[in-house]
Chains A and B, each alone.
Chain A
Amino acid sequence: MALQVIDLSHFRNISRAHVELSPQLTLLVGANGQGKTNVLESIYLLLQGRDFRTSSEREAIQNGEAVLWLQGAGEIQDRPQTWQHRVQREPVKRFHRGIVVPTVLFSPDDVYLAKGSPERRRRFLDLLLSAHDAHYARSLRAFHRVLLQRNRAFKESSWQGIIDDFTPLLIREGLYLWKRRLETVTALIPKAAEIHAAVAPRETLSGVLKFGGSDEPIVDEAGYRRVIDSRRAEERVRQMTLVGPHRDDVVLTLNGMDTSVYASQGQLRTLALSLKLATYHWLLEETGIKPIILLDDVLSELDAARRQAILETVSQPGQQTIVTDTEPRSYAALNPRILTVEQGEVQAWTNPV
């Protein structure tokens, strides 16, 4: 399976580009700030229908342009496929066509996954689940709309009476999000722990999904309602909804220590790597398709053992990977197709390595 070619038009700093990808390894080489990550972002957007960098896709339209446009063609499980994505600035319009292809992105920002705010970990789960579960994506949108409505009602004294007309809807959507997140975290963590133990044998990784607004996980609608009822007085004071998936967190620990507080930079990097590789295996199991791997300048920061963990996955037969790097050396052994990215221009590499 592979994405064979992608055409970009007015995407970030790329005015126009025609990019032919190798079915195995493609290496995008260029100095910093030339647009390497933009190419990865466009591939992700085309294959997932979602942008990992921004929630407002209009930001990805090139400055001074009205429309961004991406088109791709390839073969998934021996069947030809095409993808299209188009975003218009004014009035805002968005068009997407094409099947969702499992994709795993390794980015330098992954370090913040275990360290940063819970919002990052929720976004990680949301991106993963929304792409492959249309019901999840719908529920997520619906949940945030009910949340806005309910929070707005808290702020107006004459609307206190209608707050609870939104509560059953909040629970309905919230419960689905919680259940799917719980299933996913429960499947991902043991995989991640196994990978982590292989590269860092002295560290034991574990993790749990914590229900937003309560110390105890919930199991059903009645439980959800009990938690919401118990914090109702506080909700009134703070004029907002305090219970639900919008406050979920994935609490990760290494040897029992909470990583959001205690992990070192090196540990965070290994942890992120373990989580992403676990995601790769989880997607492979869920979809039966080898996910496309996007590596954004991450290898340079890893030591030999961790680098090996990624390279083993990347060098499997039939594995398509797109990598960015400032120079082509690290991957020479894998025989990549090399493209250069310079000031938004993407071209085939002409100098022999």
Chain B
Amino acid sequence: MLYPEPIQDLVQELAKLPGVGPKTAQRLAFFLLNMPKGEAELLASAITNARSRIRYCSECFNFTDSDPCAICRNAARDPSWIMVVEHPKDVIAMEKTREFKGRYHVLHGAISPMEGIGPDDLKVRELLNRLTQVSPREIVLATSSSLEGEATALYLARLLKPMNYKVTRIARGLPMGGDLDYTDEMTLAKALEGRHDL
């Protein structure tokens, strides 16, 4: 027996979410149907709201509800110190450290030919435009240490260095509380490379 059409539609849409298979989608759909009507409407309007009010910041391309975003508006943050990250969630992670006082640039992905993502599909051209306007003193490449993140950092370094910008890459090394003998050789080698005086 098939479900009535509105339920089928709901299941189908939910199943498009990452990590949600047909079974989970069904469970979620019935959960939504059983919850108080007001709560379901709150969820629906939260989705619509987020979609209509959130856009890219015209400077850093992070998600924002006001353009420029709160970080790019903040005069206390150094506009000539730019950190390039893959995703908006990376901005949140870095902000939690309270260590970085510059501004961000969000690429929205990393180079991955397998998935059909090249530099043109990322906010690279936007980064170049922005750099001509702010003349940065340092660009920190903080893409992830995945293969795609590394390749993206190499690509950007190759692009930016000839323009005489100071380009740096965040360090890789031991996690806090990590045991040396459980660490893979590549991480150890990087940690040794990045050693410093005490």
Q: What is A's interface to B at a CB cutoff of 8 Å? A: 91, 134-135, 138-139, 142, 145-146, 148-150, 152-153, 156, 158-159, 161-162, 164-166, 168-169, 172, 176
- Additional pairs, 4, CB under 8 Å, beyond known A162-B113, A169-B154: A149-B113, A150-B113, A162-B118, A164-B158
Q: Which chain B residues border A168 with CB–CB below 8 Å?
A: 154
24 contacts between A and B (CB under 8 A): A135-B184, A135-B185, A138-B184, A139-B186, A142-B147, A146-B147, A149-B114, A149-B147, A152-B114, A153-B113, A156-B113, A156-B118, A159-B113, A161-B119, A162-B111, A162-B113, A162-B119, A165-B111, A165-B152, A165-B154, A166-B151, A169-B147, A169-B154, A176-B186
B113 touches A169 (CB 8 A): no
Q: Which chain A residues border B186 with CB–CB below 8 Å?
A: 135, 139, 172, 176
In chain B, positions 125-166 with a C-beta closer than 8 Å to chain A are 147-148, 150-152, 154-155, 158
Determine how close the nearest CB of chain B comes to the CB of A27; give it in whole angstroms: 41
Determine how close the nearest CB of chain B comes to the CB of A21; give it in whole angstroms: 32
A149 touches B112 (CB 8 A): yes
Q: Which chain B residues border A159 with CB–CB below 8 Å?
A: 113, 118
Q: Which chain A residues border B158 with CB–CB below 8 Å?
A: 164-165
* B5 interface residue per 8 A CB criterion: no
* B120 interface residue per 8 A CB criterion: yes
Determine how close the nearest CB of chain B comes to the CB of A286; give it in whole angstroms: 17
State the main secondary structure of chain B at its contact with A.
helix
Q: Which chain B residues border A164 with CB–CB below 8 Å?
A: 158
Q: Which chain A residues border B147 with CB–CB below 8 Å?
A: 142, 145-146, 149, 166, 169
Q: What is B's interface to A at a CB cutoff of 8 Å? A: 21, 111-114, 118-120, 147-148, 150-152, 154-155, 158, 184-186
**Chain B residue at minimum C-beta to C-beta distance from A134:** B184
Report how far A15 CA is from B111 CA in the complex, Å.
45
Given contacts A91-B21, A156-B118, A165-B158, contact A149 B184 (CB under 8 A): no
Report how far A27 CA is from B89 CA in the complex, Å.
57
Q: Which chain B residues border A149 with CB–CB below 8 Å?
A: 112-114, 147-148, 151
Q: Which chain A residues border B152 with CB–CB below 8 Å?
A: 165
A-B contact count (CB 8 A): 51
B151 touches A165 (CB 8 A): yes
**Chain A residue at minimum C-beta to C-beta distance from B112:** A149
Q: Which chain B residues border A162 with CB–CB below 8 Å?
A: 111, 113, 118-119, 151, 155
Partner of A158, one of B111, B120, B148, B184: B120
Report how far A91 CA is from B18 CA in the complex, Å.
13
Report how far A159 CA is from B118 CA in the complex, Å.
7
Q: Which chain B residues border A134 with CB–CB below 8 Å?
A: 184
Q: Which chain B residues border A166 with CB–CB below 8 Å?
A: 147, 151
Determine how close the nearest CB of chain A comes to the CB of B16; give it in whole angstroms: 15
Report how far A306 CA is from B113 CA in the complex, Å.
51
Report how far A134 CA is from B148 CA in the complex, Å.
21
Report how far A38 CA is from B113 CA in the complex, Å.
39
Report how far A149 CA is from B151 CA in the complex, Å.
10
Determine how close the nearest CB of chain B comes to the CB of A225; give it in whole angstroms: 14
Report how far A165 CA is from B148 CA in the complex, Å.
10
Q: Which chain B residues border A138 with CB–CB below 8 Å?
A: 184
Partner of B151, one of A91, A139, A169, A176: A169
Q: Which chain A residues border B151 with CB–CB below 8 Å?
A: 149, 162, 165-166, 169
**Chain A residue at minimum C-beta to C-beta distance from B152:** A165
Report how far A138 CA is from B114 CA in the complex, Å.
19
Report how far A139 CA is from B186 CA in the complex, Å.
10
Determine how close the nearest CB of chain B comes to the CB of A340; give it in whole angstroms: 40
Determine how close the nearest CB of chain A comes to the CB of B150; give it in whole angstroms: 6
Report how far A152 CA is from B57 CA in the complex, Å.
32
Q: Which chain B residues border A176 with CB–CB below 8 Å?
A: 185-186
Report how far A134 CA is from B21 CA in the complex, Å.
31
